[in-house]
Chains A and B, each alone.
Chain A
Amino acid sequence: MTAGQRLTCTWAVAGRRTGRLTIVGDLDYDHADEINRVLVENLGAHPGLRAVHLDCAEVAFCDSYGLAALLMAHRHIRGVGARLHLDNLQPGLTRLLELTRTLEYLTAEAAPSRAEKFDT
């Protein structure tokens, strides 16, 4: 997909412990890297965060590259000791996260250990 909408990411801090990244646009091959650029910049500027919310209310489309960006965001947020929350997931994105079984992993309390694996 090359004809996606531009992606804008807006960072805000609520208190000293919580960050919020509002994502508007398409999480696709051409744009998804933007969330990690903004995240890395702000995670560095705000040490001590405990939670980072990604507000996905306005995510119109997410392809596999967008999902890779979310997984990378998860890595960055975990890296500073915070927990990732995905807010206002729209049906399309929820479906993608369920299809790939990444939803639990992305929003888990702590890093999933071998004991917690969602085996079947």
Chain B
Amino acid sequence: MTEPEHATSAAVLEIDARIDTAPYPAVVADAAGIVQALNRAARTLLPDVRVGETLTATAPGWLAESHATLAADPTPGPSPGGAAQGWVDRRSLEGHPVRHDDGTVTWWLVDDTDTRLAREALRTEQARTAFLTEVSTALLGSLNLQRCMETTVTLATVNLCDAAIVMAPAGRGGRYPTVTAVRGGEVVHDVLDVDAEEVPGLAEALQGFPPVPSRWLDPMSVPEWLRPTGFGEVGSIVVTPLPGHGVPAGALILVRGAGAAEFSEEEEVVARLFATRAGVAMSAARMYDQQASITETLMRDLLPPTVHQLSGVEFAARYRAAQDGDRIGGDFYDVHPASEEDEESLVVLGDVCGKGLDAAVLTGKIRSTLHALLPLADDHLRMLRLLNGALLNTHDARFATLVLASVARDGAGVRLRLTCGGHPAPLVVRADGRVEEAPTRGTLIGAMPDVGATTAELTLGPGETCLMYTDGITEAKGGPFGDELFGEHRLHRALGECAGMPAEAVVERVQMLASQWLGRGAHDDMAVLAITAPRGQHLTAVGGHGRGRYTA
């Protein structure tokens, strides 16, 4: 041994005597990485490390590397740089270096396994919370069911698994609409005609029963139809119900490849929390979907028909529903054409009290009842009485107001019989611009046991118009100060300017004026219908409906 080495060893031995019984492992190595000493705790922890051997050959890699870095760093000082960190078996250690004057370094090794595990758990938990928050935000942003399902599988493949499948409850024909995503791949929609019983727990999950833990599921039992196209061997699988509002929204199936770790218990909990959020979003979307399709269906049936020329009489109508929210309003109109050329057509325009579905249902009832009563249209009062009887109920005071108009071509003019049931009387625009109120009055329909009404009979000369409207027009609130009603006076004046105009132009103008009056204010339903006797020139005009030919 040379002199310096001997001196070093002596110094080390001296330190060793004092640190040998210290509770923390300590390893002393010189600048070349040769171990000079180690205490009792270090000998237990690192049985391979011996005095005289190099750290590189015997100590864990992270410690040897940290030591080499430290030795190469000329900066003097007792503890340059930070601590090193690494694993020995299943323990996490922090190495705190202390540099001595002779170039040796003592590494104090502190066990921080518990702290580290706690920190990692915290980080995982934070990441999960962030994930679940992201899930909620992403899912609740859409009320579109398809998009909700897509978002669910995509988020699942990014954060939870290699492939995810959402199976909706069986739809028409007992088939299951599914959406599948493989990490990094496209989202695939499909409708599967399969037996859910083939996957353990799937049939139960689809009915909303609690999930089966993944370790109970044999990945080998996964049927071919569940394996996404291009997906390799299945390693583990979790089937979780998607709980909805009282009814299950379907099932979520998470799949990991054969190489990936199995689902841990905590991951299954996260999967369940994820499924809860996805399920709620999906059932909200499904409910919205159903509602929208109900509205759609009702709309198709309740929406006023487009009207044209019939039997030599011009008809035109406009309808503007109250709000987009409840698109079906309480206003309605119908034109029932006469079966024979010179018989009367029946026009109905009315307003059901209230808005939304309740109003729509009553509207539907009124329209079909009146349709059935068409053969009795020559007696308006009788028709109204029968309708009133059909609508009376005891649980609320919903009612309707309406106008019946029987219309027939009469020479160059048009003969009208008008009867109001609690409705604003139709207005007649004469050729010279005079505006008259049709002299008809009657009881509203559906609220009182008895109804009465007077029928007005009048004739429209060529170019003259009878306008039926709902109170949405006259009660349009707006104007320069935003709180004034459009009112009958303004309607009269506007109509006075419509003398001689065709039916289309009249309804267009009235609707436009009322809309302008409203500005951006909220409004009720607005319906207008014009019946016009065509001006005499269109002798051979065919109104697009075959039997529209007439002579003046």
- Total of A-B residue pairs, C-beta within 8 Å: 88
Known contacts A71-B447, A120-B452, A101 near B353 by CB under 8 Å: no
- Asked, given contacts A99-B422, A117-B450, A117-B452, whether A68 binds B441 with beta carbons under 8 Å apart, the answer is no
Give the Cβ gap from B104 to chain A, nearest Cβ, in Å. 85
- Of chain A, the residue at the smallest CB distance from B476 is A1
Kindly list chain A residues whose C-beta atoms are within 8 Å of the C-beta of B477: 1, 3
Residues of A with C-beta under 8 A to B27: none
Residues of A within 8 A of B401 (CB): 64, 100
Q: Tell me if B396 counts as interface (CB < 8 A to partner A).
A: yes
Taking a contact as CB atoms closer than 8 A, the residue among A2, A65, A98, A116 that contacts B354 in the complex is A65
Query: By the criterion CB–CB under 8 Å, are A29 and B354 in contact?
Result: yes
Interface residues in A61-99 (C-beta closer than 8 Å to B): 61, 63-65, 67-69, 71-72, 74-75, 98-99
How many Å lie between the Cα of A69 and that of B452 in the bound state? Answer: 21
In this assembly, does B268 line the interface, its C-beta being within 8 Å of a C-beta of chain A?
Answer: no
**A side interface size, CB within 8 A:** 28
| Proximity bits, A1-14, B CB within 8 Å = 1, else 0 | 11100000000000
Interface pick from B295-303, B517-525, B528-536? B517-525
Q: What mask results when residues 104 to 118 of chain A are scored 1 for a CB within 8 Å of chain B, else 0?
A: 010000001010111
With an 8 Å Cβ cutoff, the count of chain B residues facing the other chain is 37
**Which residues on A sit within 8 Å (CB–CB) of B192?**
none
Would you call the interface of chain B mostly helix, strand, loop, or mixed? loop
Highest count of chain A CB atoms <10 Å: which of B330, B424, B450, B521:
B450
Q: Mark each residue of chain B from 406 to 437: 1 if its CB lies under 8 Å from any CB of chain A, else 0.
A: 00000000000000101110000000000000
Binary interface profile of B, 448-483, with partner A (CB < 8 Å = 1, else 0)?
Answer: 111111100000000000000001000101000001
CA distance A101 to B444 in the complex (A): 7
A39 CB, min distance to chain B CBs, angstroms? 13
Residue with the highest number of chain B CB atoms closer than 10 Å, among A29, A71, A114: A71
Interface check A119, CB cutoff 8 A: yes
B398 at the interface (CB under 8 A from A): yes
In contact, B353 and A64 (Cβ under 8 angstroms): yes
Q: List 12 A-B contacts (CB under 8 A).
A: A3-B483, A64-B354, A65-B354, A67-B353, A68-B354, A68-B399, A71-B447, A72-B396, A74-B397, A101-B443, A102-B444, A117-B450
